Amino acid sequence: MPHDDLRCPNCGALVSEDAAWCGQCFAPLGRAPEPPPVPPRDEPPAPTGVATATEPAERPPPFWPCPVCGGKNPIQLDTCATCGTPFAQVMRAPVERGQVDPRDAAIRSLIFPGLGHRALGRGLDGLARGVLFVVTFGLGVLLAIAASGSGALVAAFALFLVAGVGVYAMSAFEAHRLAQGGDLLVETKVLMWALVGVVFVGVGLLVFGVVTATHR
């Protein structure tokens, strides 16, 4: 007898336990085959970029930048390999310039050459101009005293006098220009060499004047 619990899954008719297909709709009654086992999924290998990302990047060698040319120099060098600027200049703090009205700076230099430069924070430049003015004018006065009728010494006195007036005027003009943000007309090192030359020429002319006066 057919089993009450066994029915065709297609039409619902009763079927026997050992029937291979339904007698009503002829649908196969065999047990559905088990699905094949799902193969385990293999984990994809991690890309090489991820592994290397965790590794610390190679640090660049230390260097110091040149404040003049901008070149990068190894830390063991004492001077710039490009322009020769010393390493000490990198650590040097910028010099703060005084804020002075251009007219006031010029008036200070008219009082005495170099005072306007000093008020602007350029003490060395002002000192060079003041010393050159004193030496030039002083030698001119000494030559005037020693001239005693000598045409050469009188001409030298006039030359030194003109040079002193030139230093005086240049100092006032430079102070006004520096206060406006300009540059020096003449570099200080050039003036220092000019001072050395003035001293040698002045001393030579004084010796010449003394020798000439004693032989009269």
- Domain assignment present for residue 131? The answer is yes
- Asked whether residue 123 is domain-assigned, the answer is yes
Domain of residue 126: give its range: 102-214
Single-letter residue type at 98 = G
Q: What distance in Å separates the CA atoms of residue 62 and residue 83, rounded to the nearest whole number?
A: 19
Question: What is the average pLDDT across 193-212?
Answer: 78
Residue 160 lies in a domain: yes
Residue 86 lies in a domain: no
In a domain, 42, yes or no: no
- The reply to whether 117 falls in a domain is yes
pLDDT in tens, 96-119: 555 788 899 999 999 999 999 999
pTM to 2 decimals?
0.51
Confidence of residue 24 (pLDDT cuts 50, 70, 90): confident
Comparing 151 with 32, the larger pLDDT belongs to 151
> What's the pLDDT band for 14 if we cut at 50, 70, 90?
confident
The structural domain count of the chain equals 1
Does some domain include residue 43? no
Q: Could you tell me if residue 174 is inside a domain?
A: yes
* Lowest mean pLDDT across 48-52, 62-66, 188-192, 208-212: 48-52
pLDDT for res 148: 65
181: left (phi over 0), alpha (psi -120 to 50) or beta: left
Mean pLDDT for 80-107 is 73
Those residues with Cβ within 8 angstroms of residue 79's Cβ, 6 or more apart along the chain or in another chain: 85, 86, 87
